[in-house]
Each structure stands twice: as C-alpha cells, then as structure tokens.
Structure 1
C-alpha cells in the first residue's frame, strides 16, 4: 500500500474547521483507493504568532519540506493587522511559498449547473464554463527590486527573466495538454518591455507543444472577456500581478468564493489551499463552506501525489452532492433541499466518495 506524508496547516479563523472536513474526505477516498495518508499538523499565521512569536516557525518549514504535500486552510484576522509587516500572518505564507520554491499558482474555475444562478452574471453566459488560470507566483512587480516609498514618490520594478517565463510557460502548456489544448497567454506587450519578453518566450516554448493552440491577449481585454464570454477560455497563462487580478475576477464567475480551490506548485513540495480568507467573523459557528478546501485536497491528490482516480472521485462526489440539493448557508438560496453545517456537508461528501 502506498503511503504519503501530508503536512497540515489549519491556520486562523475558519481554517481549522474547513481543513478538518477536507481530512475527513481524504480519509474516505484513501480507504477506497487503497493508499494511506499520514498527517502532521504545523502552525502558521496568527496562530503561530500567538504561540511562537513568529508567523512561520522553523519547525513548520522543516516539516513541510519533509512532506509529500501541504494542505492549508487560511490565515489572518484583525487581531494581527497592526503588527509589523514581517510579523503579520500573511508574511508567514509568503515565506513558506519561498521556502517551498513554488512558482506556479493553479486556479480552476468551473460553474456547476446547479449553482449557475449564484453569480451576478447571466446564467446563459456562465453555463459550461471550465477554465484554468496558471499564474506566475514568485516574480514580477511584487518582488522586483529596486522598490521604495519616499516622501514625495514611490516606485516598484517589474522584472522577469527568460528562465522564469519559460518554466511557468511549460506548466501552462502541460496543463493545456491535459485539458482542451487551448492556451491564452495574457500580457501587456503593447506598452511593457517585460511583456514583450514574456510573449517572445511563450512563443518559443509553444514550439515544443504543437498540439496546443496558442493565442495572446492584452490584460485589459482579458478582464473584459472573462466577464463577457468566459466560455472562450481553457487555460489562461499570465504573470504575477495580472494573474492576481484575473484569478479573483474569475472567482466571481462561479458565484461563490467558497467553491474555489488552488494549488501552488513547481518547487520542492506543493501547497494546496482554498482561495478565500480566514473569515474570523464566522469562525466556530459551523456555517463556513469547506468545499473549496475539499477540492484543494483533490488537487493535492492529482498534482502532488498522482492519485488521479482519487481526485476524480472527490470531484464527482462534490458535483453529485450539489446536484442532490445539499448546501451550506452561503448557498442556501440556490435550490437547497437541505442546508447543512460545515461538518454535515463534509460528512455527506465523504459518504458520497465512499459510494462512487
């Protein structure tokens, strides 16, 4: 029997309760697919600061690096907002990504037929949407030097090397090969030299993937097209700041941030997490939606462990649970047969996983 070591970081706010449900589902699917998951819990974020005085203890970094994958809930909250920047929960997450060496953020957006009315966008625009954003995570303007804030001016630097572009482009094309073989590279090559290098390098990498249809789109047009006609997209490949904005825009297509998973990969160990925050205002009430974390666990099985059948089983279970009318409070107005607590929806999905 195959055995995997999983680092668990529950984090702050609703993090512990949503991760608990993902583990419940993982246990159900591992029993059916004949592999074993061994979990070790570690601290990060505000919870780590309260105990250790830092947002990312060294033992968490070491534990994650010695694992096959990291499953993470959420961090942050007003309690820690006034700390110096280096001690805030978010700084712990940025450092963990750096320590793990992850450089590609993967965000799928799929519209479930049963929830097509959840978005503010017309159902006829959304039906059948299934897109995948590949965002470069460790370069670009967020990390470029020099950067400074002076009394009367401030500046940042947008930098990409050819090697950085090439490695993220390969992940984009590999993703497209596993899907519908269409890749749209998003840049601003009409005004930015860094985007001109981006486009040139993506076109060079495309030569190794003749089966993939490559197109280019300026980021402002891409933002408009995501809302106007999101069905046109299969895989979207883009840089850090553009990907940050476009992936959040894409999240509105699904109508609920509580449904959207993500993966950060490409380095030593992959990091898998829901895209939503820690929602401290509802923590402990049993009303948070764990589906995004459960789907992040499915991504972990698919991309980190190679357990594709197990990932498929979880994703099918989630779809069937929604089809049968089970909803958490955030989705209760959308054809709910039964409104479930956080724990109840996790148990129902685990049961469906076992029956598939």
Structure 2
C-alpha cells in the first residue's frame, strides 16, 4: 500500500565524491527509486562533484556552481572524498577542502553521530556482547568552532631556528549554546539524558563550555538530565560501560575523537551514518549535510565489496531530519535490520555462519526488505 505525498518535491543534492563513494551512492539511488515508486514520495535529485573528482574535472575541490546547488537543496548527501592520487596537492585545494567549504558556507555547526549496535552484529564489536548489544547513543559534535578554526594558527620559525606550530581553542557563548540546544532537543525524544564533555579542569574554554551548557539547561531544559564529564573520562567510559550514555555533546576536537571511538563499538565504520545541521532558515528548514562516517577507502574502490549501509542510513537521517518523513526513516532502518538478521554481510562485517555479499547485493536486499517490513 502506498501513500501520496503532496506539495513540492524534496530537493536532494547527491555528491558521490571519490573512491567507494560512487558505489555506495548507487545503492542509495535504488532506495530513492523505491520510495518514489512504492510510496509515491517525490524527490528532485541533482548530482554534483566534490573532492578529487571535482579537482580532476574543474581544478577545485568544489565549484561555486555546486555550492549554489547545495544552498538550494533541502539536503545534501555526500559519499566520501580523498585518496592518494591527490595527496601531494597544496593544502588549499586538497579534496577535503570541498567538504570543509560545504560545512562552512552552509553554516553546519552540529554534527550528529549515532552509534547503534544491532543485535545481529554484537559479536562483531571489539567489546563483549553484553556491553554493546542494544547500544543506541548519539554524539553531538560542535563542527565550526574550536581548535580546528581558531586564530591565531599556523607554523612559524623562531629566532633560534626552531619551528613552532600554533592552534587556538576558542569558543563563544552563542557557539556553545546553539549546539547544546540541539543536544537537549534530541535527548527529549530519546532517553532524556545529556552528557556534556570538556576539559574544564585544565582549559578555560572548557570552563566556559561547562558553565554555558549548565546555564542553558537550567533556563530552557530543566526536565532533561544533565551530567558533565571530562573528555578523557568519557573516552574511558565509552569502552568501559557505553550504554550509560544517551546523548553526548562536546566540542570539535573531542567530538572528533569520541565519535570515532564510539563508532568502533558497533563493529564497523561501514555501518555508521552522520548528519551535520545548521540553524533553521526562515522557512523552518535547516541546511543539512548527510554522509557516512567511513572514508573513501581507495584500496577497495571498484571491487564491489564496500558496505553501503552507512550511506543508506545517512539517507534515513535525511528522511527524518530534512524531509519530515520519520515513519519512512524508521521503515528504512528496519529494512536494514531485517537484512542483517537474515545473515547477509559485506566483507567488513562478515562473521562465521553468515553469507558474504557484494555492495550491490546488499543494496538490492535492503530494497527488497522495504516491501516486507512494517512500522
């Protein structure tokens, strides 16, 4: 039974990028086609270049024309960028600069990194099954401030001939409060708990972070449980007792580290989606970029062995956050779970007693499962 979708089509910009990005994005196209055919949901899909593929075609990691498409879209879905082919380029035009430009110009300040461990994959984790089975946490990482963007920065030569590298950790009240607000709002629809992580014991920026998160909590979200935790302790607790967490909110640097640590609790980077969100526009929609956590994996590109699930689940996040289709997002997530429970695996999540399949077969199986699952 299909539903009808009224109103204009959902505008989606697809940027496959480099390496396995093209292969995994092909499977998302299959999923989009299913929703259009079987659920009568209209998508206006355009495609562009980013990263190394854009450098090869235009000499830039992303063009002004592609940025214009990104600004006009309701959501951007990106595969992956980079590879050894472009390693020796000047820093300013490396493939990764395309992704950073998207984040900067779309003003995407909140990076959401879910870490879920499906029961069928609990034994693929590096931790014991009882520690990770049923794991469902989200790390909200501040994305546009902190040490990655602070000034002054650079490398300088000192009078005595030594060289010194400089990076500055800096945050303002507004930067902290807006990302914390995303975390509190997210927690209200989940386990109603936020863990704010910083290093207030040794960093003034951490003191400010703790004070502003606490103040926002007291003013606007007193019903949400809030705890503060030093970032090094948070890293330890993630591998000691990860299910104690619900939503973790943290800065750019610590979020980069903690989200990768949480990713491996689930068994494979090939399973994990992400969303980067900006502030709501006048029409109420947020600029948004969705992408799998894994990289371009050039060593396996073109071999049809990449796991497309992280990219498919990134599209599920777009359905929920950008297109207002929460039920359809749940349908897609259940289809993934259905396929995994049936024993199909790509090489990265292969376990004894399961069947190894290609990128395309995994994508096809998920599309078939969409017809079977109920919500």
Q: Fold match, TM over 0.5?
A: yes
Q: In 1, distance between residues paired with 2:126 and 2:14?
A: 34
Number of the residue aligned with 1:127: 133
- Relative distance call for 1:334 and 1:319 in structure 2 (3 A) is farther
Number of the residue aligned with 1:243: 255
Residue deviations 1:202-259 (CA, integer Å, cap 9, x gap): 1111121122100000001000000000010000000000000000000110010100
Number of the residue aligned with 1:176: 187
Number of the residue aligned with 2:94: 88
Number of the residue aligned with 1:276: 294
The answer as to whether partners of 1:301 and 1:307 remain within 8 angstroms in 2 is yes
Number of the residue aligned with 1:213: 225
Number of the residue aligned with 1:341: 358
TM-score, with structure 2 as normaliser: 0.93
Deviation at 1:334, TM superposition (A): 4.7
Aligned length: 355
The answer as to whether partners of 1:28 and 1:354 remain within 8 angstroms in 2 is no
Deviation at 1:30, TM superposition (A): 4.0
Equivalent residue in structure 2 for 1:162, among 170, 173, 176 = 173
- Residue 39 of structure 1 pairs with residue 51 of structure 2: no
Deviation at 1:354, TM superposition (A): 2.3
The answer as to whether partners of 1:140 and 1:159 remain within 8 angstroms in 2 is yes
Classify the secondary structure of the residue corresponding to 1:120.
coil
Residue deviations 1:92-121 (CA, integer Å, cap 9, x gap): 110111111110000000111111111221
The answer as to whether partners of 1:29 and 1:354 remain within 8 angstroms in 2 is no
Deviation at 1:126, TM superposition (A): 1.2
Q: In 2, distance between residues paired with 1:96 and 1:197?
A: 28
The answer as to whether partners of 1:261 and 1:295 remain within 8 angstroms in 2 is yes
The answer as to whether partners of 2:198 and 2:230 remain within 8 angstroms in 1 is yes
Classify the secondary structure of the residue corresponding to 1:176.
helix
Q: In 2, distance between residues paired with 1:172 and 1:33?
A: 31
Structure 1 stretches lacking a partner, 5+ long: none
Q: In 1, distance between residues paired with 2:353 and 2:134?
A: 19
The answer as to whether partners of 1:114 and 1:335 remain within 8 angstroms in 2 is no
CA-based RMSD: 1.1
Q: In 2, distance between residues paired with 1:31 and 1:159?
A: 49
Equivalent residue in structure 1 for 2:327, among 309, 317, 333 = 309
Structure 2 stretches lacking a partner, 5+ long: 1-5, 280-285
TM-score, with structure 1 as normaliser: 0.98
- Residue 106 of structure 1 pairs with residue 123 of structure 2: no
Q: In 2, distance between residues paired with 1:232 and 1:30?
A: 39
Number of the residue aligned with 1:286: 304
Deviation at 1:326, TM superposition (A): 1.0
Greater RCO, CA 8 A, separation 6+: 1
Classify the secondary structure of the residue corresponding to 1:117.
helix
Number of the residue aligned with 2:3: none
Equivalent residue in structure 2 for 1:194, among 198, 201, 205 = 205
- Relative distance call for 1:8 and 1:143 in structure 2 (3 A) is same
- Relative distance call for 1:334 and 1:71 in structure 2 (3 A) is farther
